[in-house]
Amino acid sequence: MEANSFSNPFGSFFFFLFLGILLVFTSAMPITNAKTHYHDFVVQATPVKRLCRTHSTITVNGMYPGPTLEVNNGDTLVINVVNRARYNVTIHWHGVRQIRTGWADGPEFVTQCPIRPGGSYTYRFTIQGQEGTLWWHAHSSWLRATVYGALIVRPKEGDSYPFTKPKRETPILLGEWWDANPIDVVRQATRTGAAPNISDAYTINGQPGDLYNCSSKDTIIVPIDSGETNLLRVVNSGLNQQLFFKVANHQLTVVGADASYVKPFTTSVLMLGPGQTTDVLITADQPPARYYIAGRAYASAQGAPFDNTTTTAILEYKSAPCPAKGLKVKPVMPTMPQFNDTATATAFTTSFRSPRQVEVPTKIDHNLLFTVGLGLNNCPPGASRSTCQGPNGTRFTASMNNESFMLPSSFSLLQAHQQGIPGVFTTDFPANPPVQFDYTGNVSRSLWQPNRGTKLYKLKYGDTVQVVLQGTSIFTAENHPIHLHGYDFYIVAEGFGNFNPSRDTSKFNLVDPPLRNTVSLPVGGWAVIRFVADNPGVWIMHCHLDVHITWGLAMAFLVENGVGELQTLQVPPADLPIC
Ligand code: C2O
């Protein structure tokens, strides 16, 4: 259902006045055709059969993955989410800047209380200046395992892509499937303190593909015609695993990521951390046949268990000879990188550039250094062994700057901020690690146990921010996809080992760094991001591996209002769920 944005309740006088002004100006001014899109999202349990077994899966509108939203830059979305499931739920519009509309961002207990079973909430927001592929997902417990979908933002009507218009566009949502209820999986891990069970399959648009039991007949087919160029909108919507992505015998030209265009570059392999999107052009320049599209793990943590299976779809040339009945002609399979191929992952992530020179903030108001990593909490004496099933009788935890983030439960952070409710959070999140140590070396066990709390870092409207994200080798070093809500940031540099300002600052790309919402923090390394705090609200920054959020790998920025309405957070919608 769609309608024009003029269906607002103008009084008739104002309406005609408006119409008059509009008529006067239409001949002189370009008309913006911004639309408002209305959708109903019903969150509900739905029977879904994968890997030979049917589960009662939480879906949106009975679809897995959920519906694809297609809009133009500048459009407004109004999505009424109705919760008919037995779990609390919220929906996050991953990567949407939500300028002044923090109430629609979605992370549970950050910008809203959850939508209770039987409840509903309408998310209203406008896409401003973003084009490409984003996605939406549940932001409550591990529901996003199955509650997610694509959000495609095309250029404004009349505008075109900065590349030749593709013949076809296909969203490719990479996911993770548990042959279990994902909520049970995370609940068990939270109870025991152990790492949660790994997934049983990866999926492409919800289907595991030919290499799994009971899956072949539903393998996703992506059609292509010889000679044509198509756009694949690849999203890593998996929970806990970075993925390599390839199409057999075909090169991919990267043209966008996280709803920003990039300087096109060609590669045979992509690597996406959960949360990241990559738009690629693919040209059917090979002999007509069937080629596997494949995804499998980039597993950077040494010795940690991971799902080592491979998901496939099929790129099928329309003119490909039909496989003769009974005779199984296997599609061509790409050679995937080794699971621990950090060199390939890094070569890919460091290839991104903005299409042209950009305005990177250079005068920095807040120069921050955040350590990012795991930890182990010792169990108190007398604790039941069943709750201390982490390594050597500990419980897994994770932190930034030694602070393991705890969500509040009686108010959302944004509500507490806006209404001045005390006792919900503090604003003393440290600008630097409380102790300096060799972050990526052999870290003393005395530094493995973080504090727990709800600490925010306060920014004034318009402040310029640099964050050095520094991975640690506490317990194990690994690649972390770090996602910031409410903003896109420039990734000005990344590297391995400990960030060294005197050595590494000279390598900053302040000319054409890529603009993203999720940075793939190199294993045992660092990344430097910059942004301007021009969006008031409370914005969580977290590792997009859900297992790490569960352990507290998050913090939040509180960005104060600026001057005047356009720099001020809107008032909360009347139906905002309360706790
Ligand atoms: Cu896509 Cu807070 O996440």
Ligand 1 atom nearest to 135, measured from its CA: 1
Q: How many CB atoms lie within 10 A of CB 384?
A: 8
Scan for tokens 């809203």, then name that residue.
112
Scan for tokens 């790409």, then name that residue.
334
- Note the pLDDT tens digit of each residue in 255-293: 999 999 999 999 999 999 999 999 999 999 999 999 999
- CA-closest candidate to residue 84, choices 65, 105, 122, 58: 58
Mean pLDDT of all residues in 333-337: 98
- Note the pLDDT tens digit of each residue in 422-433: 999 999 999 999
Measured in Å, residue 532 CA sits from the centre of ligand 1 at 20
Q: Is 27-162 assigned to CATH 3.40.50.10860? A: no
Measured in Å, residue 317 CA sits from the centre of ligand 1 at 36
Measured in Å, residue 540 CA sits from the centre of ligand 1 at 9
Q: Is the CB of 175 under 6 A from ligand 1?
A: no
Mean pLDDT of all residues in 551-562: 98
In angstroms, rounded to a whole number, what is the distance separating the alpha carbons of residues 186 and 198? 10
Q: Is the CB of 485 under 6 A from ligand 1?
A: yes
In angstroms, rounded to a whole number, what is the distance separating the alpha carbons of residues 530 and 514? 11
Ligand 1 atom nearest to 274, measured from its CA: 1
Percent of the chain with pLDDT over 70: 93
Mean pLDDT of all residues in 139-160: 97
Residue 24 has pLDDT above 60, yes or no: no
**Residue identifier of the C-alpha nearest atom 1 of ligand 1:** 94
Percent of the chain with pLDDT over 90: 92
Confidence of residue 4 (pLDDT cuts 50, 70, 90): very low
Q: Where are the alpha helices (DSSP H) in 310-361?
A: 342-349
Measured in Å, residue 112 CA sits from the centre of ligand 1 at 14
Residue 209 has pLDDT above 50, yes or no: yes
Which uninterrupted H or E stretch holds 453?
strand 451-453
Identical fold between 27-162 and 163-354: yes
Residue 363 has pLDDT above 70, yes or no: yes
Q: Is the CB of 94 under 6 A from ligand 1?
A: yes
- Domain 163-354 top-level CATH class: mainly beta
The per-residue pLDDT for 379 is: 95
Confidence of residue 299 (pLDDT cuts 50, 70, 90): very high
Residue 567 has pLDDT above 60, yes or no: yes
Q: Per the structure block, which two tokens stand in for 473? A: 């080798």
DSSP-derived 3-state class of residue 387: helix
Mean pLDDT of all residues in 303-328: 86
Measured in Å, residue 248 CA sits from the centre of ligand 1 at 31
> Higher confidence at residue 320 or residue 549?
549
The per-residue pLDDT for 9 is: 42
Q: Is the CB of 50 under 6 A from ligand 1?
A: no
Scan for tokens 């756009």, then name that residue.
231
Measured in Å, residue 519 CA sits from the centre of ligand 1 at 12
Residue 12 has pLDDT above 80, yes or no: no
Q: Is the CB of 246 under 6 A from ligand 1?
A: no
Q: Is the CB of 483 under 6 A from ligand 1?
A: yes
Q: Is the CB of 55 under 6 A from ligand 1?
A: no
Q: Is the CB of 536 under 6 A from ligand 1?
A: no
Q: Is the CB of 137 under 6 A from ligand 1?
A: yes
Measured in Å, residue 139 CA sits from the centre of ligand 1 at 7
Mean pLDDT of all residues in 11-34: 52
Q: Is the CB of 513 under 6 A from ligand 1?
A: no
The per-residue pLDDT for 325 is: 57
Ligand 1 atom nearest to 94, measured from its CA: 1
Residue 250 has pLDDT above 90, yes or no: yes
The DSSP secondary-structure symbol of 447 reads G
Tell me if 396 sits within 8 A of 376, measured CB to CB: yes
In angstroms, rounded to a whole number, what is the distance separating the alpha carbons of residues 405 and 483? 15
Measured in Å, residue 8 CA sits from the centre of ligand 1 at 31
Measured in Å, residue 273 CA sits from the centre of ligand 1 at 12
In angstroms, rounded to a whole number, what is the distance separating the alpha carbons of residues 405 and 372? 12
- φ, ψ at 92 (rounded to 5°): -110, 140
Confidence of residue 33 (pLDDT cuts 50, 70, 90): confident
Q: Is the CB of 238 under 6 A from ligand 1?
A: no
Residue 326 burial (C-beta neighbours within 10 Å; 0-12, 13-18, 19+):
exposed
The per-residue pLDDT for 321 is: 78
- Note the pLDDT tens digit of each residue in 88-97: 999 999 999 9
Measured in Å, residue 555 CA sits from the centre of ligand 1 at 13
Measured in Å, residue 150 CA sits from the centre of ligand 1 at 14
- Note the pLDDT tens digit of each residue in 478-512: 999 999 999 999 999 999 999 999 999 999 999 99
Confidence of residue 31 (pLDDT cuts 50, 70, 90): low
- φ, ψ at 66 (rounded to 5°): -75, 180
Q: Is the CB of 542 under 6 A from ligand 1?
A: yes
Mean pLDDT of all residues in 438-462: 97
Tell me if 204 sits within 8 A of 293, measured CB to CB: yes
Give the residue extent of every domain in the chain. Answer: 27-162, 163-354, 366-567
**Residue identifier of the C-alpha nearest atom 3 of ligand 1:** 94
Q: How far, CA to CA in Å, does 243 sit from each of 203, 313, 476?
A: 11, 15, 19
Q: How far, CA to CA in Å, does 422 sit from each of 72, 336, 410, 558, 565?
A: 40, 52, 12, 15, 25
3-state helix, strand, coil in the chain (%, to 5): 15, 40, 50
Residue 2 has pLDDT above 60, yes or no: no
Q: Is the CB of 548 under 6 A from ligand 1?
A: no
- Note the pLDDT tens digit of each residue in 50-74: 999 999 999 999 999 999 999 999 9
The per-residue pLDDT for 70 is: 98
Q: Is the CB of 144 under 6 A from ligand 1?
A: no
The per-residue pLDDT for 322 is: 73
Q: Is the CB of 530 under 6 A from ligand 1?
A: no
Q: Is the CB of 97 under 6 A from ligand 1?
A: no
Ligand 1 atom nearest to 540, measured from its CA: 2
Q: Mean pLDDT for the chain?
A: 94
Measured in Å, residue 90 CA sits from the centre of ligand 1 at 11
DSSP-derived 3-state class of residue 238: coil
Q: Is the CB of 107 under 6 A from ligand 1?
A: yes
Measured in Å, residue 92 CA sits from the centre of ligand 1 at 7
366-567 topology per CATH: Immunoglobulin-like (2.60.40)
The per-residue pLDDT for 327 is: 59
In angstroms, rounded to a whole number, what is the distance separating the alpha carbons of residues 106 and 94? 9
Measured in Å, residue 121 CA sits from the centre of ligand 1 at 19
Measured in Å, residue 525 CA sits from the centre of ligand 1 at 22
Ligand 1 atom nearest to 95, measured from its CA: 1
